[in-house]
Amino acid sequence: MTISQAVANVCKVPNINDNRQLTANSGERQEIYLPGTDCVIKSQVSLAGYTSYRVGGPAQWCVAPRNLEALQASIQYAQTQELSVTVLGAGSNLLISDCGIPGLVIVTRHLRHNNFDLETGQVTVAAGEPLPGLVWAAAAHGWQGLEWAVGIPGTVGGAVVMNAGAHSSCIADILSSVEVLLPDGSLETLTREQLGYSYRTSILQGSKKIVTKATFQLQPGAAPEHVLAVTKQHKQHRLNTQPYHLPSCGSVFRNPKPHAAGWLIEQSGLKGYQIGKAQVAQRHANFIVNCGGASAWDIFNVIRHVQQEVQERWAIVLEPEVKMIGEFQAAC
């Protein structure tokens, strides 16, 4: 059994330079239909609904491809129009400015496929697959190795790029290989050793390579009920210790070993500190939550205040784990 990269009509790469490109105008908003495809690029799309923080301004242009060919066509369009490209998965580790993002935003969350190979114990997954969904699917098969990731609310692609981790485990422990799309539209397969993995980072961060799918080495053969039980324990631990009832990006800061960022923030007396509707969570100090109606500017300023307070008290500079995109200012 193999994975098909297409789940909708194939979106063929068009000749962008011809005159058949169609643009539909609606006030200031536009929809660009790439010729010969069913791909639609839209202008001035609010990104708040694409992030777990529920904040963020508009994308200058936005597209949500559903297969590899559509992704390639979108990249080609951006190159032809000399647009910068920003890739969004689940938007769970992002803080997008209220001013929005220039260029083309590519939302990869609709790239979803998985294949469990019983002979090798490997699972190959498209970049847009939600990581928790993959964890539950593996558990239902009786495959071990992903239970720790059940509480990470991101996509497979994002998890691979940032080397997501929890409970002393991380993506680098189980990744076998990753397929990436290069700016010229070609595909390249990279091994784990080529990704330069370290704590919450890889060489893919900041690069122009886009993850299309990843292959993980798991351990099949366990009783599904056992793996499901362990997975549920990890999920419950997350629910008990972290504020999942409010919008957030997860952990805001990297842990400055040997310290835990949450402990440093709590010992600095910052639990509950609030600007506007953004607050340092009472349940876990390394979370900054949107209490309802927060702006990205509110959250940004809470992050900056926490950094200043911790540095003054502990002489430690907290490095954000959350990726901040755009220009942060009081008014856009």
pLDDT at site 37: 67
Residue among 79, 58, 101, 87 at smallest CA distance from 14: 79
Considering the entire predicted model, what is its pTM? 0.87
Query: Average pLDDT, whole number, for the chain?
Result: 90
Residue among 253, 316, 314 at smallest CA distance from 280: 253
Three-state DSSP string of 295-310: CHHHHHHHHHHHHHHH
Please identify, among 107, 128, 151, the residue that sits at the C-terminal boundary of a domain.
Answer: 107
Residues 95, 179, single domain; the answer is: no
Residues 197, 143, single domain; the answer is: yes
pLDDT at 21 over 80: no
Q: Which domain holds residue 36?
A: 31-107
202 contact partners, CB below 8 Å, separation of at least 6: 160, 161, 162, 163, 172, 195, 196
Which CATH number covers residue 75? 3.30.43.10
Q: Are the beta carbons of 328 and 94 closer than 8 angstroms?
A: no
Query: Is residue 287 included in any domain, yes or no?
Result: yes
Catalytic residue selected from 129, 147, 179, 321: 321
Residues 88, 124, single domain; the answer is: no
Residues 140, 157, single domain; the answer is: yes
321 included as an active-site residue: yes
Q: How far is CA 50 from CA 61, 96, 125, 230, in A?
A: 14, 10, 21, 30
Catalytic residue selected from 52, 97, 251, 268: 251
Query: Is residue 24 included in any domain, yes or no?
Result: no
pLDDT at site 5: 28
Q: Tell me the one-letter amino acid at 60.
A: Q
Rounded Cα gap, residues 165 and 107, in angstroms: 23
How many domains does one find in the chain?
3
Catalytic residue selected from 66, 109, 200, 238: 200
Q: Are the beta carbons of 317 and 311 closer than 8 angstroms?
A: yes
pLDDT at site 14: 38
Residues 125, 94, single domain; the answer is: no
Residues 213, 144, single domain; the answer is: yes
Convert the pLDDT of each residue in 221-238 to its tens digit: 999 999 999 999 999 999
Query: Is residue 60 included in any domain, yes or no?
Result: yes
Please identify, among 66, 90, 107, the residue that sits at the C-terminal boundary of a domain.
Answer: 107
Query: Is residue 177 included in any domain, yes or no?
Result: yes
Rounded percentage of the chain residues whose pLDDT exceeds 70: 91
Convert the pLDDT of each residue in 29-43 to its tens digit: 899 987 666 779 999
Please identify, among 196, 228, 260, the residue that sits at the C-terminal boundary of a domain.
Answer: 228
Query: Is residue 7 included in any domain, yes or no?
Result: no
Query: Is residue 143 included in any domain, yes or no?
Result: yes
Whether the upstream peptide bond of residue 258 has omega within 30° of 0, thus cis, is yes
Convert the pLDDT of each residue in 164-206 to its tens digit: 999 899 999 999 999 999 999 999 999 999 999 999 899 999 8
Tokens of 159: 């998890």
More confident residue, 64 or 18: 64
186 included as an active-site residue: no
Q: Are the beta carbons of 142 and 157 closer than 8 angstroms?
A: no
Residue range 44-62: mean pLDDT, rounded = 97
Residue range 51-55: mean pLDDT, rounded = 97
Residues 92, 61, single domain; the answer is: yes
Residues 224, 249, single domain; the answer is: no
Tokens of 47: 């990104």
Convert the pLDDT of each residue in 109-148 to its tens digit: 999 999 999 999 999 999 999 999 999 999 999 999 999 9
Query: Is residue 123 included in any domain, yes or no?
Result: yes
Rounded Cα gap, residues 122 and 175, in angstroms: 9
165 contact partners, CB below 8 Å, separation of at least 6: 148, 171, 199, 200
Strand partners, 211: 180
Q: How confident is the model at residue 108 (pLDDT cuts 50, 70, 90)?
A: very high
Of 11-20, 121-130, 155-164, least confident by mean pLDDT is: 11-20
Residues 187, 288, single domain; the answer is: no
Residue range 64-80: mean pLDDT, rounded = 93
Convert the pLDDT of each residue in 277-296 to its tens digit: 999 999 999 999 999 999 99
Query: Is residue 308 included in any domain, yes or no?
Result: yes
Q: How far is CA 185 from CA 65, 70, 86, 102, in A?
A: 14, 11, 16, 22
The DSSP H or E segment spanning 156 is: helix 156-162
pLDDT at 247 over 50: yes
Q: How confident is the model at residue 24 (pLDDT cuts 50, 70, 90)?
A: very low
327 included as an active-site residue: no
Which CATH number covers residue 143? 3.30.465.10
Rounded Cα gap, residues 4 and 69, in angstroms: 12
Rounded Cα gap, residues 84 and 94, in angstroms: 18
